[in-house]
């Protein structure tokens, strides 16, 4: 589940950082580009929210805390993966 969240987060960061921010938030895009970017960003955000919600439901159903579900090393690896993949995605 953490891997799914990490991949989706990288996708949102890479795709949202160039097109969505420039076209929609900064106002450089046309009406069509803004509508397209918002339409493409909504499913991407849902792909983050739904697995995170499922993770919360799983922890509540099994009376676990999130810290009991994954090790500290896994969290560090997740953050490292997101940072490195985002940097590589921005370069390429």
Say what the pLDDT of residue 22 is.
78
Q: What is the mean pLDDT of the chain?
A: 88
Higher pLDDT, 70 or 60: 60
**Interior/surface letters 41-70, b for 16+ CB within 10 angstroms, e for the rest:** beeeeebeeebeeebeeeeeeeeeeeeeee
Residue 59 near residue 69 (C-beta atoms within 8 A): yes
- pLDDT attached to residue 48: 93
Query: For residue range 12-48, what is the model confidence (pLDDT) as tens digits?
Result: 888 887 778 877 878 787 888 888 888 888 998 999 9
DSSP state, residue 28: -
The predicted pLDDT at position 24 comes to: 80
């Amino acid at each position: 589940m953490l891997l799914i969240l990490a991949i989706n987060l990288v996708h949102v960061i890479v795709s949202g950082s160039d097109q969505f921010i420039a076209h929609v938030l900064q106002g450089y895009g046309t009406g069509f580009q803004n509508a397209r970017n918002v339409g493409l960003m909504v499913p991407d955000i849902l792909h983050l929210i739904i697995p995170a919600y499922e993770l919360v439901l799983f922890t509540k159903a099994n009376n676990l805390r999130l810290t009991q579900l994954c090790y500290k090393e896994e969290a560090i690896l997740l953050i490292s993966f997101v940072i490195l993949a985002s940097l590589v995605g921005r370069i390429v």
